[in-house]
Amino acid sequence: MAKRIETVGLKAWFGAFLVLDGISLTIEAKQVTALIGPSGCGKSTFIRTLNRLHEVVPKARTEGTILLDGLDIHDPAVDPTALRRDVGMVFQRPNPFPTMSIRDNVGAGLRLNGVRKRGDLDDAVERSLRLAGLWDEVSNRLGRPGASLSGGQQQRLCIARAVAVEPDVLLMDEPCSALDPISTLAIEDLIVELKDQYTIVVVTHNMQQAARVSDVTAFFNIGGAGQPGRLVEVGRTSKMFTNPDDPSTEAYITGRFG
């Protein structure tokens, strides 16, 4: 449960285009780490390298080291598919599987990996939905399509789906950017609850959100158009938001650019 992530000199490309350069960052277990920075600075690409989803895109590649509790995830012996069971992900737009019911959506990760026993599946579905704070709202209509839920419920359904496979790390790529304030609040509360069990990395454009939910904040920035994203500064969220070391961090947080 809850593993520590360490990247050393991580670079990422799309084709010949370098989007991330030399990211060395340690993400502690059982904490919420927020990644902030202007659009196009590579925050999303960075978390997509952590579960090796980046390399699924044609011609995308990475260089450098990523350690998950000391294990090099690029080691040839590591199966990226198995890695993704340990490093789960929630996407920007809620994306429940359109042909599946609520129950099947939550159980998808288990079912598609060979878990067949109905009892085991039902237990996992209930546990995950409770964890995502959705059980009371959907327990009487588990057979309905996942797409029948509201946007905020769909996103919590996606969180339930991600935690159902019992990952060690949960990556969240702007999980609230498509949601209304009340759903956002529900997800933020959930993030804080989940950090007892998981290592959580949240990409966000919302400064207040970063301040509310995270323990550590990392600020990414780009030098200009066409240049790769770099890690500018990382520190305790309280310090980052009150007394950052780098002037560009302060400028970004106070809304002077980005």
| Strand residue runs (E) in 155-247 | 169-173, 199-203, 216-222, 229-236
132 binds another protein (CB under 8 A): no
Please, what is the minimum distance in Å from the beta carbon of residue 100 to another protein? 8
Please, what is the minimum distance in Å from the beta carbon of residue 198 to another protein? 15
Total residue length of the chain = 258
103 binds another protein (CB under 8 A): no
**Which of 162, 240 has the CB closer to another protein?**
162
- Cα angle 223, 46, 87 (rounded to 5 degrees) comes to 170
85 binds another protein (CB under 8 A): yes
Q: Which of 25, 27, 158, 231 binds another protein (CB under 8 A)?
A: 158
255 binds another protein (CB under 8 A): no
199 binds another protein (CB under 8 A): no
Q: In what order do the strands lie in the sheet with 169-173?
A: 71-72, 60-68, 5-14, 17-27, 229-236, 216-222, 32-36, 199-203, 169-173, 87-90
Please, what is the minimum distance in Å from the beta carbon of residue 88 to another protein? 7
**Which of 58, 76 has the CB closer to another protein?**
58
- Please check whether residue 44 is in contact with residue 173, taking contact to mean a CB–CB distance below 8 angstroms: yes
**Dihedral sign from CA coordinates of 192, 165, 97, 149:** negative
Q: Which of 91, 147, 185, 251 binds another protein (CB under 8 A)?
A: 91
Please, what is the minimum distance in Å from the beta carbon of residue 48 to another protein? 9
- In whole angstroms, what is the distance from residue 91 CA to residue 75 CA? 26
Cα Rg of the chain, angstroms:
18
Q: Which of 3, 13, 32, 88 binds another protein (CB under 8 A)?
A: 88
1 binds another protein (CB under 8 A): no
**Which of 11, 85 has the CB closer to another protein?**
85
DSSP helix, strand, coil percent of the chain (3-state; round to 5): 40, 25, 35
Give the count of residues interacting with another protein (CB under 8 A). Answer: 27
In 10 A of CB 98, how many CB atoms?
Answer: 9
**Which residues of the shown chain bind another protein in the complex (CB under 8 A)?**
51, 53, 56, 58, 81-86, 88-89, 91, 93, 95, 97-99, 108-109, 111-113, 158, 161-162, 165
